[in-house]
Amino acid sequence: MIERIKNLLTEVDALNAANEEELEALRLKYLSKKGLVNQLMADFRNVPAEMKREVGMRINEAKTALQDRFNQLKAELATTEEDHSDLDLTRTPYPVMVGTRHPLSIVKQEIVDIFSRLGFSLADGPEVEDDWHVYGSMNFAEDHPARDMQDTFFVETHPDIILRSHTSSVQSRVMEKQQPPIRVICPGRVYRNEAISARAHCFFHQVEGLYIDKDVSFTDLKQVLLTFAREMFGPDTKIRLRPSYFPFTEPSAEMDISCNICGGEGCSFCKHTGWVEILGCGMVDPNVLEANGIDSTIYKGYAFGMGIERITNLKYQVKDLRMFSENDVRFLDEFMAAN
Q: Which of 280, 300, 281, 282 has the alpha carbon at shortest distance from 290?
A: 300
Q: Give the nearest distance from C-beta 91 to ligand PHE in angstroms.
A: 56
Looking only at residues 150 through 169 of this chain, which bind ligand PHE when binding is defined by CB under 6 A? 166, 168
**DSSP 8-state symbol, 19:** S
Separation of alpha carbons 314 and 59, rounded Å: 91
In this structure, is the dihedral angle defined by the CA atoms of residues 28, 32, 33 and 38, taken in order, positive or negative?
positive
Separation of alpha carbons 279 and 300, rounded Å: 20
Whether the Cβ atoms of residue 62 and residue 40 lie closer than 8 Å to each other:
yes
Q: Does 133 bind ligand PHE (CB under 6 A)?
A: no
> Which residue is at the shortest CB distance from ligand PHE?
305
Q: Give the nearest distance from C-beta 167 to ligand PHE in angstroms.
A: 7
- Binding-site string for ligand PHE from residue 272 to residue 291, where x marks contact by CB under 6 A and - marks none: --------xxx---------
Q: Does 264 bind ligand PHE (CB under 6 A)?
A: no
Q: Give the nearest distance from C-beta 327 to ligand PHE in angstroms.
A: 26
Q: With respect to ligand PHE, which residue has the nearer C-beta, 233 or 304?
A: 304
Q: Does 249 bind ligand PHE (CB under 6 A)?
A: yes
Q: With respect to ligand PHE, which residue has the nearer C-beta, 65 or 118?
A: 118
Whether the Cβ atoms of residue 245 and residue 219 lie closer than 8 Å to each other:
no
Q: Give the nearest distance from C-beta 266 to ligand PHE in angstroms.
A: 26
Q: Give the nearest distance from C-beta 246 to ligand PHE in angstroms.
A: 5
Hey, what amino acid is at 255? M
Whether the Cβ atoms of residue 191 and residue 165 lie closer than 8 Å to each other:
yes
At 186, is the secondary structure helix, strand, or coil?
Answer: strand
Q: Rule CB under 6 A: which residues touch ligand PHE?
A: 166, 168, 208, 246, 249, 280-282, 303-305
